[in-house]
Amino acid sequence: MLTTLLAIFISVFLQKNPSQQVRLQIRFSNFVGNKPLSPDSVYTNPFGESYKIQRLKYYITNIKLVNTKTNKQLPVEDSYFLIDDSNEESKTISLDIRQGSYDVISFLLGVDSLHNTSGAQSGALDPMNGMFWTWNSGYVSIKIEGQSPVSSLPQHLIEYHLGGYKGQNNVNQQINLSIKDKTIDFSDKNTAVIFIKTDLNLFFKSIHSLPIRANPACTTAGALARQYSENYATIFSIDKIETR
């Protein structure tokens, strides 16, 4: 009863004090170099290999904002989102957060171990989204599917289903993006939009060199999946920020 009354009080307080709560949007745009990702387009990776991407999905979870000057952190509760390039709506995350000033946005690329072992779930973590292996293997953090003429697979397919959350096979990556030379200050604004851009070419060559010809597929947990996830962690950058 007391818990219920407290929840009602907090909800009413925020409604009567809108300055205490602000809206943050995070918008993801997937690119290859400077070209927007499209299933009908052909791209060339750093190894000179041409390829097409028909499917791209990845999990963005455990979002938090950080003020590095004061070491203040604002975790966003229940922040589990599946970015699906074929679903425009999924590429915008809308959050209501507490007022403050922040200069870093942080999130986990993948699904944490707790939610990998929590049984059937709903929303972004629903197994019906096609991003779940088994109760033992857990979630697929990143899924990339397409074609390349250098692939030795039937129909020249390329398939990268990156999962694994245990020990050395953990593909989850912590992403920390600095807001260049300034902070998001909500003291006199009530909305901010962070535009995050990705570059899929870095998936093949950044920390590790992983040509398609050598690895047209990676669909099991292990050292190779870990290398691909480390490359994927480098694809994110803040394109711009708008406040109003």
Question: pLDDT tens digits, residue range 155-197?
Answer: 999 999 999 999 999 999 999 999 866 667 766 667 889 999 9
The torsion angle over the Cα atoms of residues 199, 205, 206 and 209, rounded to 10 degrees, is 160
pLDDT tens across 98-122, in order? 888 889 999 999 999 989 887 768 8
Residue type at position 201: N
Give the DSSP letter of residue 37.
P
Pairing assessment for the beta strands 35-36 and 217-218 based on DSSP bridges: unpaired
β-partners of residue 36 are 31
Q: What is the pLDDT of residue 10?
A: 32
Mean of the pLDDT values across residues 199-215? 98
pTM for the predicted model, two decimal places: 0.89
Domains in the chain: how many in total? 1
Which structural domain range is residue 194 located in? 2-243
Q: What is the pLDDT of residue 182?
A: 64
Q: Cβ neighbours of residue 33 under 8 Å, at least 6 residues apart? A: 43, 199, 201
Q: What is the pLDDT of residue 186?
A: 67
Phi and psi of 120, rounded to 5°?
-60, 135
Q: How far apart are the first and last CA of the chain?
A: 39
Q: What is the pLDDT of residue 14?
A: 38
Least confident window among 17-26, 71-80, 135-144: 17-26
CB 228 within 8 A of CB 160: yes
Q: How far apart are CA 213 and CA 138, in angstroms?
A: 28
Q: What is the pLDDT of residue 4?
A: 40
CB 191 within 8 A of CB 22: yes
Q: Which two tokens stand for residue 61?
A: 């979870």
Q: What is the pLDDT of residue 128?
A: 93
Is pLDDT of 5 > 70?
A: no
| CB neighbours of residue 13 within 10 Å | 11
> What burial letters (b/e) apply to 62-88, b meaning 16+ CB within 10 Å?
bbbbbbeeeeeebebeebbbbbbbeee
Pairing assessment for the beta strands 80-84 and 157-163 based on DSSP bridges: unpaired
